[in-house]
Structures are given as C-alpha cells and as structure tokens.
C-alpha cells in the first residue's frame, strides 16, 4: 500500500513501540496504587510531564487522555463547569470532537469567528465582538491546523486578544504537534494526540495551566481528578518519545512537487498563505469518493475528509470555501504526507491522478 492519509493516523515508530512494550511488561503498575509500584508509575508520569514541558518550553500540568478528542472534551468540560458565562467563541473549522463536547450544553451561545472570502479568519470582527461581549465569554477554542485543508489558524493573534480580556484559550494542536512551532505561551491549554506523530493510538494529552484546573466531579480520581480510568503509563511514555523523536523533515519540497505536476484541468488545490506542509487539499472534476476508490484499487490510499467525521462530515467553513470556488463538497479530496513519504510514492500518486479520465 502507498499511504497518503497521515493526517488520519500514522504508524507506530520502533522506539515508541519499544518504550510501550518495556513499560507495560516491566513497569505495568497502576499510578494510583499506594505501594512502591504505584510510585514507579507516578515517576514515569512525572518524567513524561517534564519531557513534554521541555519540548514545548513551557509549564503545564499534563492530563493523560485516550485521544486528542478526549483531551478536547476534558478541556471544554473543565472550562464550562463553574462559570456563569455562557458564550463560547470558536471557528467554523473546528474538529467534530469540539462540537460533540459542546453539544450537551443547551444553554451555551456560540460566536463563530467570521471568515474572509479566502477562508481566513476575520480577526477584526473577532476583536470587535470580544470588546463588546468579553464579560459573557467563558472560552475561546480553535484549531491550530485545520485537519481538512492544512490552514494554519492565527492562534498567536487570537491568544493575545484572549489574554487582553482574561478569557481562557484552548487550542486543538492535534494536527500541528511535532510538525509546527506552537506558540504555547498564548494558550491556556492545548490538546495533542499520539497517533498523529508515530505514537500509539488510544492516547493523547491535555496540557493545561495549573490555575485553570477545576474539579468537576468528586468521583473522578485520576489525572488531577479530571478523569476516570487507569492511566496507560506505557502509552503516555511512548507518545512522549514519539513526539520528541519526530523526524525534522522539510515536507514543503515534496508538497510543491506534487502541486506543480498535477493536471490543473482536473485538480484544483485549495491554497492558504499560511498552510501546514503535510496536508494537500484538492478539488476535483470527479466526485472525491470515486477518485478515492479508483486509487484504492491501485493500492494508493487517500481520504475525502477527516476520519473522525467518517470522511463525509466536513466543516462549515470548508463547505463555504468550496462553494465559493464553484465546486461541490463531494468533489473534495485530502492528501496528507509525512517524513515516511518517498519521491517514488509522490510519483506514483501523480501518475495515477493524471491518468484519470
């Protein structure tokens, strides 16, 4: 198989696998146990927290989660638990996990940051709204990198606006961790997911400022009383290892090669001035599902959207952007690459796409 869906998931690196196997074979203790084994597990957790803070050059409390989606959910529940403010500010690009976490809060009002015609966020409109309504805003939450298009949202500027009015600012960094520099100093919290950067599936983390932790439920006894369920210390350590050891590979030349050699009569790239190098969004003459199936028959794997939306659920911002360019949402495909992608892989994909009728 030739794989072009790295934004959905990655393979497990050898070093992450070895760490996972070692800890779950030799140091498999419950971090909440009161005996010496529990102390060992706690020490491993603390070492991971220290390593993650060193990596991000910041100082967060690390809450182990079962995924990036779970980390987003913990964050949102934490911020909305004890506040009378009932407005959440977010973009229309957000991952389904953010919308799912907000869904139970029927009394919450939403302010969706408007976009310009080119799909970028209108920060003047955001700033004006916050200036008038900051006393009502419980949380601002946005992605760092949109998982569909690779658009890099202006989180640094949004973070400065949030700080000016002392509003908590959570950022979904699932697609940017290991791949971009993350301005954590403007964030109250951020979410990451191990399987996006050669770590294990089933583990993510919420990195959150200690003074923003709010106990939601007296029956939650794990991870600073933020969640239930025994922490998989081995998975946390493997994720931390994978993040630190992620290859420092410049993917832009590979992306540019593909963009320059594609048949532009059949494939139209969605381009942003600020765009992550590992995601290549394309609009096609044919339906995306048809192209995906044709490529799959040649053992070339792409996607038609975020895997967490079953490949069919697209953000409202993307839908608007596609319609403005005269296409249907059904004509969208996403190609995503990684340091494991080779020139031969790119050549095979370009050839297969350009040969399509």
Q: Give phi and psi for 342, each to the nearest 5.
A: -110, 165
pLDDT value at position 310? 45
Question: What separation, in Å, do the N-terminal and C-terminal C-alpha atoms of the chain show?
Answer: 23
What parts of the chain have a pLDDT lower than 70?
215-216, 219-226, 306-313, 357
Whether the predicted model's global pTM rises above the 0.75 cut:
yes
pLDDT value at position 332? 97
Instruction: Report the largest interatomic distance among the alpha carbons of the chain, rounded to a whole angstrom.
Output: 67
The number of angstroms, rounded, from the C-alpha of 121 to the middle of its chain's C-alpha atoms is 18
Residue with tokens 């765009």: 275
pLDDT in tens, 3-23: 999 999 999 999 999 999 999
The per-residue DSSP string of 127-186 comes to: HHHHHHHGGGEEEEEEESB-TTT-BB--HHHHHHHHHHTT--EEEE-TTTTTTS---GGG
pLDDT in tens, 113-137: 999 999 999 999 999 999 999 999 9
Q: What per-residue string of b and e applies to 13-36 under the rule 16 or more CB within 10 Å gives b?
A: beebbebbeebeeeeebebeeeee
Q: Where are the domains of the chain?
A: 2-9+248-354, 14-244
pLDDT value at position 40? 97
What token pair was written down for 170? 């959570």
Mean of all residue pLDDT scores within the chain: 93
pLDDT in tens, 142-151: 999 999 999 9
Whether residue 231 contacts residue 65, with contact meaning beta carbons closer than 8 Å, is answered with no
CATH number assigned to the domain covering 2-9+248-354: 3.90.1150.10
Sign, CA torsion 231/232/235/236: positive
Q: Which CATH class is domain 14-244?
A: alpha beta
Nearest to 5 by CA among 335, 330, 304: 335
């Amino acid at each position: 198989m030739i794989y072009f869906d790295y934004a959905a998931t990655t393979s497990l690196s050898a070093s992450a696998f070895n760490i996972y196997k070692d800890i779950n074979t030799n140091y498999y203790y419950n971090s909440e146990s009161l005996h010496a084994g529990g102390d060992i597990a706690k020490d491993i957790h603390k070492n991971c927290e220290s390593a993650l803070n060193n990596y991000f050059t910041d100082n967060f409390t690390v809450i182990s989660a079962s995924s990036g989606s779970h980390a987003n959910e913990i964050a949102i529940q934490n911020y909305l638990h004890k506040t009378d403010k009932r407005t959440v500010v977010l973009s229309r690009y957000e991952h389904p996990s953010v919308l799912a976490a907000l869904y139970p809060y029927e009394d919450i009002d939403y302010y969706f940051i408007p976009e310009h015609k080119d799909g970028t966020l209108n920060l003047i409109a955001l700033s004006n709204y916050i200036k008038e309504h900051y006393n009502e805003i419980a949380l601002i939450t946005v992605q760092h990198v949109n998982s569909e298009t690779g658009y890099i949202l202006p989180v640094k500027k949004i973070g400065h606006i949030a700080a000016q009015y002392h509003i908590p600012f959570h950022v979904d960094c699932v697609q940017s961790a290991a791949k971009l520099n993350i301005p954590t100093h403007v964030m109250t919290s951020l979410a990451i997911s191990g399987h996006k950067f050669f770590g294990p599936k089933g583990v993510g983390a919420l990195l959150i400022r200690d003074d923003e932790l709010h106990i939601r439920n007296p029956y939650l006894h794990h991870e600073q009383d933020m969640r239930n369920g025994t922490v998989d210390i081995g998975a946390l350590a493997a994720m931390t290892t994978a993040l630190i050891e992620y290859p420092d590979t410049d993917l832009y030349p590979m992306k540019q090669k593909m963009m320059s050699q594609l048949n532009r009569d059949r494939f139209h790239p969605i381009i942003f001035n600020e765009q992550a190098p590992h995601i290549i969004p394309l609009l096609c003459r044919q339906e995306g599902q048809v192209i995906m199936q044709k490529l799959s028959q040649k053992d070339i794997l792409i996607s038609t959207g975020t895997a967490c939306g079953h490949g069919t659920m697209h953000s409202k911002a993307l839908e608007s952007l596609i319609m403005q360019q005269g296409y249907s949402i059904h004509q969208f495909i996403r190609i995503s690459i990684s340091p494991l992608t080779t020139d031969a892989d790119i050549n095979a994909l370009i050839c297969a796409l350009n040969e399509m009728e």
